[in-house]
């Protein structure tokens, strides 16, 4: 049984009989939490795009935009729904709950979290707004939304005290109530080897190993700055995270801090059965890092590859691992390039393909079968390029193993929608045509540290 399919380990401590959860995975369709049900193994029907509002463009508000992306549909490529939210608050990332029924999306500036009901994925419904993230937790910038059984683990990027990089994790129940908070480790912490810097960004869990990895970025003071001004400010550039932290999931305690210079961002565990390694990319140093156990069983983090020309700061911003763990897509924002790395030997990744897919590119998502690759363009409102290079599009490509062939483009500026950032797929409910989805199964109880 694939290690990602077992509740036993990370979330079934003390159960007499381990429960098997529905087929799930960890990268888009390839990068969701391993505890999330209803993996789409067939053709996705819709893509939901978390979209930043732009002043004087349309109504200027942030939005959740739904697009029909099934080639068999008469509405293929059309925006079929758009939910306009109050104001602009730097929308960024989203995440499904464990049953895939609800989609949570956060804003990095005003700290609001919006919860949408996707019982009818063609018409998401806003059912809850959580507006006390900062006041209840002391953290700022709800970024990553990572499903646990009956819970949502949220990684903050900053704090209310000084808007710097020291932050923490917030555990919610699926009803939107705060259960617990966990500060990111700073300095020498009891029971942890290495030195923490307090920064946070992404979350990745390997249930079979009872291991969670977190990565690091920067605080509100920096991610809300204009990028051109930021990169010219040598002092400001010192305030980016340079660590990854390995946690004991059952106890929710940090065990090891790794030195990973240059702002390690997205974390992807290999999905191949028997693999127990994860990879990340560092935004500022343009490196691929591998986290893996050595011959003695000790976890190590090491630089295993270079992305583009680091001297030109291509800025790798998102990665997506293939379902078989043998390939990795990497998007670099500054040069608008999508790269493919052969990960057959994760100790020595090899870039085997690259294509300029936009004037600026950010998120990359792929279908479970690896045949379709989705690209969006916006990074942050104040980090996007200016003038003609400020392109805001969703592009879909077919991938035949040799070449990315563009099949669809949706121009968000022409449609007065704003800046397109994060994406999540959905499909019509089971029993309806055009989609194949697995069925959910009961989840196990959480260990005490996560209750």
Nearest Cα to Cα of residue 194 among 247, 265, 264, 249? 247
- 451: pLDDT confidence band, cut at 50, 70 and 90? confident
Q: What share of residues in the chain are helix, strand, coil (percent, to 5)? A: 5, 40, 55
Contact 214, 245 (CB under 8 A): yes
Give the model confidence (pLDDT) of 397-409 as tens digits.
999 999 999 999 9
| Dist. CA 424–CA 439, nearest whole Å | 19
pLDDT score for 441: 41
| pLDDT higher than 90, residue 32 | no
Q: How confident is the model at residue 319 (pLDDT cuts 50, 70, 90)?
A: very high
Check residue 444 and give its pLDDT.
52
Sheet holding 113-117, edge to edge: 91-96, 102-107, 113-117, 125-130
Given a cut of 80, is residue 348 above it in pLDDT? yes
Q: For the residues 256-268, what does the mean pLDDT come to?
A: 98
**Residue 450: its pLDDT value, please?**
78
Q: Give residue-wise pLDDT tens across range 357-386.
A: 999 999 999 999 999 999 999 999 999 999
Element (H, E) at 230: helix 227-231
Look up residue 13 and give its two tokens: 């401590």
Cα gap 41→182, rounded to integer Å: 34
Quick check: helix, strand or coil at residue 413? Answer: coil
Please tell me the distance from the alpha carbon of residue 354 to that of residue 363, in angstroms, as a whole number.
Answer: 15
Q: State pLDDT tens for residues 133-192.
A: 999 999 999 999 999 999 999 999 999 999 999 999 999 999 999 999 999 999 999 999
CATH of the domain spanning 3-450: 2.130.10.10
295 DSSP β-pair partners = none
Averaged pLDDT score across all residues of the chain: 91
Q: What pLDDT, on a 0 to 100 scale, did the predictor assign at position 68?
A: 97
Task: Identify the residue with better confidence: 17 or 164.
Answer: 164
Residue 388 phi/psi, 5° resolution? -65, -20
Spatial CA neighbour of 289 closest among 249, 254, 356, 341: 341
Residue 414 CB contacts under 8 Å (≥ 6 apart), including other chains: none
Distance from C-alpha of 380 to C-alpha of 394, rounded to nearest angstrom: 16
Nearest to 155 by CA among 131, 135, 182, 174: 182
Please check the confidence at residue 89 and state whether its pLDDT lies above 50. yes
- Cβ neighbourhood burial of 274 (10 Å; 0-12, 13-18, 19+): exposed
Nearest of 321, 236, 219 to residue 275 by alpha carbon: 321
Distances (CA, A) of 367 to 283, 371, 425, 431: 24, 6, 9, 20
pLDDT band at 28, cuts 50/70/90? Answer: low
Q: Kindly state the percentage of the chain with pLDDT values over 70.
A: 90
Band of pLDDT at residue 230, cut at 50, 70 and 90: very high
Q: What pLDDT, on the 0 to 100 scale, is given for residue 13?
A: 34
Please provide the distance, in angstroms rounded to a whole number, between the alpha carbons at the two ends of the chain.
27
Nearest to 449 by CA among 236, 251, 238: 251
Asked whether residue 4 carries a pLDDT value surpassing 50, the answer given is no
- Residue 248's contacts (CB-CB under 8 Å, 6 or more residues apart) are 210, 211, 212, 254, 255
Is the separation of the CB atoms in 302 and 287 below 8 Å? no
Report how far Cα 370 is from the mean position of its chain's Cα atoms.
18
């Amino acid at each position: 049984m694939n290690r990602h399919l077992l509740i036993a380990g990370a979330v079934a401590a003390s159960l007499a009989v381990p429960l098997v959860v529905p087929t799930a995975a960890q990268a888009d369709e390839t990068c969701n939490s391993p505890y999330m049900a209803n993996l789409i193994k067939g053709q996705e029907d819709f893509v939901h795009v978390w979209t930043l509002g732009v002043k004087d463009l349309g109504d200027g508000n942030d939005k959740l935009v739904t697009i029909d992306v099934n080639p068999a549909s008469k509405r293929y490529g059309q925006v079929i729904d758009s939910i306009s939210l109050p104001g602009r608050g730097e929308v960024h990332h989203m995440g499904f709950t464990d049953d895939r029924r609800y989609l949570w999306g956060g804003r990095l500036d005003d700290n609001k979290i919006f919860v949408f009901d996707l019982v009818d994925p063609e018409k998401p419904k806003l059912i809850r707004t959580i507006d006390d993230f900062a006041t209840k937790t002391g953290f700022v910038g709800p970024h990553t939304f990572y499903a646990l059984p009956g819970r949502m683990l949220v990684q903050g990027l900053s704090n209310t005290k000084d808007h710097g990089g020291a932050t923490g994790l917030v555990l919610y129940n699926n009803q939107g109530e705060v259960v617990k908070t966990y500060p990111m480790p700073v300095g020498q912490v009891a029971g942890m080897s290495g030195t923490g810097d307090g920064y946070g960004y992404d979350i990745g869990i390997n249930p079979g190993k009872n291991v969670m990895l977190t990565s690091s970025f920067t605080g509100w003071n920096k991610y809300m700055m204009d990028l051109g001004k930021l990169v010219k400010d040598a002092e400001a550039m010192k305030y980016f995270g340079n660590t990854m932290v390995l946690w004991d999931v059952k106890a929710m305690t940090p065990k090891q801090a790794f030195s990973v210079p240059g702002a390690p961002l997205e974390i992807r565990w290999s999905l191949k059965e028997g693999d127990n390694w994860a990879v990340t990319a560092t935004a500022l140093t343009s490196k691929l890092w591998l986290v893996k156990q050595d011959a003695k069983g000790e976890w190590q983090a090491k630089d295993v590859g270079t992305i583009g020309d680091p001297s030109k700061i291509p800025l790798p911003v998102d990665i997506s691992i293939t379902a078989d763990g043998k390939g990795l897509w990497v998007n670099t924002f500054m040069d608008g390039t999508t790269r493919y790395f052969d990960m057959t030997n994760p100790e020595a990744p090899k870039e085997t393909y690259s294509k300029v897919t936009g004037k600026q590119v950010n998120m990359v998502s792929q279908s479970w079968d690896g045949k379709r690759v989705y690209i969006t363009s916006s990074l942050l409102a104040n980090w996007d390029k200016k003038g003609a290079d400020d392109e805001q599009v969703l592009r879909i490509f077919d991938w035949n193993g040799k070449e990315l062939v563009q099949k669809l483009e949706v121009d968000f500026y022409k449609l007065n929608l704003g800046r397109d950032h994060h994406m999540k797929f959905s499909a019509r409910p089971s029993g309806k045509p055009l989609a194949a989805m697995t069925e959910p199964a009961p989840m196990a109880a959480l260990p005490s540290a996560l209750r």
